[in-house]
Amino acid sequence: MKHLHFNFQSPTKGTYTITSYSETSDESYQADFEVQQNGILKVPLESLDEGQWEIVIRWEISGKQFERRRKFSVLAERNLFHANKYASACLNEKKGQLFHH
């Protein structure tokens, strides 16, 4: 599962907004968050489409407002292992090299 990770020095609450930079999409997501003692905010990315995005995180500590912006890309999932070729080779009990190009 893909996430963005942000570290905070102390527990805090805030909101984040994720906005698409795609010309074909104006998607935007907003959520509240609360960071516990470990200081780590994990923002899930599995619902985002491939493309360019920006996250804006806003929080408050001791009455002082903070904001952080970060641009990021979501890349398409790649099939790193040719499972169907491997399965076919195994079923046919081929010896030697499994992949022929």
Write out pLDDT tens, residues 54-88: 999 999 988 999 999 999 998 877 655 545 554 55
The CA radius of gyration of the chain, in Å to the nearest whole number, is 21
Q: Are strands 40-44 and 3-7 parallel, antiparallel or unpaired?
A: antiparallel
Q: Which residues pair with residue 44 across a beta bridge? A: 3
Helix (H/G/I), strand (E/B), else coil: 50: coil
Cα–Cα nearest to 54, from 69, 32, 35: 69
- Name the more confident of 51 and 96: 51
Q: Which residues pair with residue 53 across a beta bridge? A: 20, 72
* Third-level CATH fold of 3-91: Immunoglobulin-like (2.60.40)
- What are the sequence ranges of the domains in the chain? 3-91
H-run or E-run covering 20: strand 12-20
Q: What is the DSSP letter of 96?
A: S
> pTM, whole model, 2 decimals?
0.70
Please, which pLDDT band fits residue 50 given cuts at 50, 70 and 90?
confident
